[in-house]
């Protein structure tokens, strides 16, 4: 049963990736301007190339081949990790991604950990507390966070903790001329990670934890576990938290896409040298190979995150493996 479930999810993920790659290539193909002209202009320092030179380079680049042939060649290169060369610098796109992707991965991973830990803590506190004022305070804070755009959260954190209190640097990896070390990197990571963690879907995550756990507080199996004298910790983790996290886990897998999109804006605000900042610069300079590679790699990451989310939901709720449904509707009873 679990084998068929994994096979279905993997096949769906593969189909989405193939469709996404085709869409990325099509967008690259219909983009305005000639790639050959962009390459020649970059090589010459901005001088417009001659039509003869553009036509010659187009033949060398295979741009006159039929669209299916060019897509097959590009897709084969993408599978090998070869996305071509940047129009602006002539450097391999893979090398550019290798320089920027680790910083985006680091920022996003820390933000996900902070978001998950904070959402579970806030949701549990709101669901299990017997103090009405504390529950209302948490719910009010979550409502405020849920209605606040991510860039506003980032700007507020910058103003409070960098400009006013001057506790953390305002951006970048290090100060100018300073080597990148762990002691230097951590303070620069704090504000963008907090902005990304609490500025994108955090309120929704915490409310899902509160709802999922709260509806199980009076469930027969929970009362039975308490009556058998099990410790509060075992009751909370095994009988409340694990089944109560199903809606939250399903939403988390989908929300990773929004988190990555938020990372791009966060990187621009905090001058974080990641893939998102590189994508914005590439779009500004019409560097389509870099931009297309970023979109494709981001899409693959989102598809994998959704797949992992589905698997996590199936592990938390075995009924999902039987029905094959992981949407939010399948977890509301």
pLDDT at 332 over 50: no
Token duo for residue 175: 């100060």
Q: Dump the DSSP string for 186-231.
A: HHHHHHHHHHHHHSSSHHHHHHHHHHHHHTTTT-HHHHHHHHTT--
Residues 31-50 pLDDT 10s: 777 777 777 777 777 777 88
Cα 84 to Cα 20, 55, 61, 64, 99: the distances in Å are 18, 19, 10, 17, 16
What homologous superfamily does CATH list for 96-331? MetI-like (1.10.3720.10)
pLDDT higher for 137 or 150? Answer: 137
Q: Dump the DSSP string for 123-189.
A: HHHHHH---HHHHHHHHHHHHHHHTS-HHHHHHHHIIIIIIIS--S-SSSSSSTT----HHHHHHHH
SS3 92: strand
Please list the residues that pair with 85 across neighbouring strands. 92
Q: What integer pLDDT is reported at residue 124 of this predicted model?
A: 86
Region 205-222: mean pLDDT is 79
Q: What integer pLDDT is reported at residue 289 of this predicted model?
A: 84
Instruction: Work out the percent of the chain whose per-residue pLDDT is above 90.
Output: 11
pTM above 0.85, yes or no: no
pLDDT at 97 over 70: yes
Residues 153-192 pLDDT 10s: 888 999 999 989 999 998 888 887 788 888 889 999 999 9
**Residue 331: pLDDT band by 50, 70, 90 thresholds?**
very low
Domain boundaries defined on the chain: 36-80, 96-331
Please list the residues that pair with 92 across neighbouring strands. 85
pLDDT at 326 over 60: no
């Amino acid at each position: 049963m679990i084998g068929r479930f994994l096979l279905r999810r993997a096949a769906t993920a593969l189909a989405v990736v193939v469709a996404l790659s085709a869409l990325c290539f099509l967008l690259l193909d219909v983009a305005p301007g000639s790639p050959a002209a962009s390459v020649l202009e970059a090589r010459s320092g901005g001088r417009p190339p001659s039509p003869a030179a553009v036509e010659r380079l187009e033949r060398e680049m295979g741009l006159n081949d039929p669209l299916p042939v060019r897509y097959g060649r590009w897709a084969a290169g993408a599978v090998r990790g070869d996305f071509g060369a940047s129009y602006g610098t002539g450097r391999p796109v893979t090398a550019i991604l290798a320089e920027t992707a680790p910083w985006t991965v680091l920022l996003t991973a820390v933000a996900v950990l902070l978001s998950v830990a904070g959402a579970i803590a806030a949701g549990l506190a709101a669901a299990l507390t017997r103090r009405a004022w504390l529950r209302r305070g948490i719910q009010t804070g979550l409502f405020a966070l849920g209605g606040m755009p991510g860039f506003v959260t980032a700007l507020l954190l910058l103003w409070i903790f960098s400009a006013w209190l001057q506790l953390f640097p305002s951006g970048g990896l290090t100060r100018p001329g300073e080597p990148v070390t762990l002691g230097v990197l951590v303070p620069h990571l704090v504000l963008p990670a907090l902005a990304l963690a609490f500025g994108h879907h955090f309120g929704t995550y915490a409310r899902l934890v509160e709802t999922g756990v709260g509806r199980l507080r009076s469930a027969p199996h929970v009362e039975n576990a308490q009556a058998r004298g099990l410790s509060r910790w075992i009751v909370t983790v095994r009988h409340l938290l694990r089944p109560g996290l199903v809606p939250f886990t399903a939403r988390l897998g989908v929300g990773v896409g929004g988190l990555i999109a938020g990372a791009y804006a966060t990187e621009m605000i905090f001058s974080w040298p990641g893939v998102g900042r590189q994508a914005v610069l590439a779009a500004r300079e019409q560097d389509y190979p870099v931009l297309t590679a970023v979109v494709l790699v981001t899409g693959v990451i989102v598809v994998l995150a959704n797949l992992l989310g589905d698997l996590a939901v199936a592990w938390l709720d075995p009924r999902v493996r039987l029905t094959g449904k992981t949407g939010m509707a399948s977890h509301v009873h």
